[in-house]
Structure 1
């Protein structure tokens, strides 16, 4: 019986890793934000400021952020949030507009959004305590499918929507395969379900507007196997650990 390739050796938990990765796993911030914090001199090891994000460590013992010791990373947690329209997916806004952090219910641990929803887009926004999980779910190479429902105005045929499966280029920007289907139509208004794996900035709106449609409402209904179903606007609940473990196993 032919033998398959040998599995990779198990990772040594004491193997040195970049400090930015360890801090992201501990839920301090995303890797990019941590790199900026290092540049600002906010992160230290045993009182010495860290000079480079590539600094290798086997643990976070002795590491401080803004003078406060960093706890060892707890298991990743993932939450569903039904984002209402009119909120920015940001920690703060220089213009003073409301953000998701202004409206999240009290009692949550420190969480980071997985990707973004535009100001006027509503629906499922995943939140996590783990910067490494956030990065994993956002990477284009991971290919997590996002599902949206769009209410649009204007004439469009199912045939036109099916052409989007081949991708489309708009003003020099190439968008990958999009699976779009008419759900129901009333006069010149219709609901369209859209599934994609890239999630570029304003992708759904730009592609539908490219077809001559006006988008009056856009709702994200699923991110991978995690659905918005049953979660009222503004509410948050936690994804069960066994569901999170199963989700991570499906990632490329």
Structure 2
């Protein structure tokens, strides 16, 4: 364990559990004595154990407790077309910092969306979370909706699920479906865990359906839902716990 849970600074473990709304202070003490609470993966049974909320992971019955929402910020942003996925831009284009005036903390963008792609982008001040969400070993799925010209035949789905060869190596979709067809425009949904540059556009080019419009609607357990362009919302509660669980934090 990187930090000793028995040290004198920090917040008492039963207070953390009660402040999270999981139990009263007395019931939280019972949980600890019953061995239902762990800190950094180790069961803690000693009442009065103190926790560093910025650095340590508390779980009750295996479920992560979000112990300090101010310590770890995670935001979902609907990035509009034309905005670059950086905090500043030497060419003066709109960038992420334009939307973050209310957040003095240093926030990292989790991966990128190219300037012509809109949709879900995550921002956080938790560097370890950002690293794990983008590391290939965790296989975090990203879901996109692409609009293309023409009718997308069944062979396209088969080809993308089997895999296509790109200039930087093979890639395949995890899921693919046609969502709807309006005139000569088809909307398709594609899910993959790859994070290569413009990979969805290049995959669709490879099967003869260049993308006219691309929106990311899902990143792991987080979904765009009704978030409007340039809109942001704080990820918290059960949704935040699912995000941390997806990368084993």
Structure 2 length as normaliser, TM-score?
0.68
Q: In the alignment, what sits opposite 2:102? A: 107
Is the Cα contact below 8 Å between 2:178 and 2:188 reproduced in 1?
yes
Q: How far does the alpha carbon of each residue in 1:75-125 deviate from its partner, in whole angstroms, 9 at most, with x for none? A: 3221110110001101222222221222x1421232111000000100100
Q: CA RMSD in A?
A: 2.1
For the pair 1:175 / 2:165, whether they are aligned, the reply is: no
Residue 146 of structure 1, aligned match among 134, 142, 147: 142
Q: Secondary structure at the match of 2:203?
A: helix
For the pair 1:221 / 2:211, whether they are aligned, the reply is: no
1:57-206 to 2 correspondences below 5 Å: 75-102=71-98, 104-108=99-103, 109-206=105-202
Number of matched pairs: 184
Shift, 1:199, TM fit: 2.0
Gaps of 5+ in 1: 1-10, 15-73
Q: Secondary structure at the match of 1:101?
A: helix
Is the Cα contact below 8 Å between 1:77 and 1:241 reproduced in 2?
no
Gaps of 5+ in 2: 5-69
Q: How far does the alpha carbon of each residue in 1:201-224 deviate from its partner, in whole angstroms, 9 at most, with x for none? A: 100000111111131110000101
CA distance 1:184–1:242, change in 2 (3 Å): closer
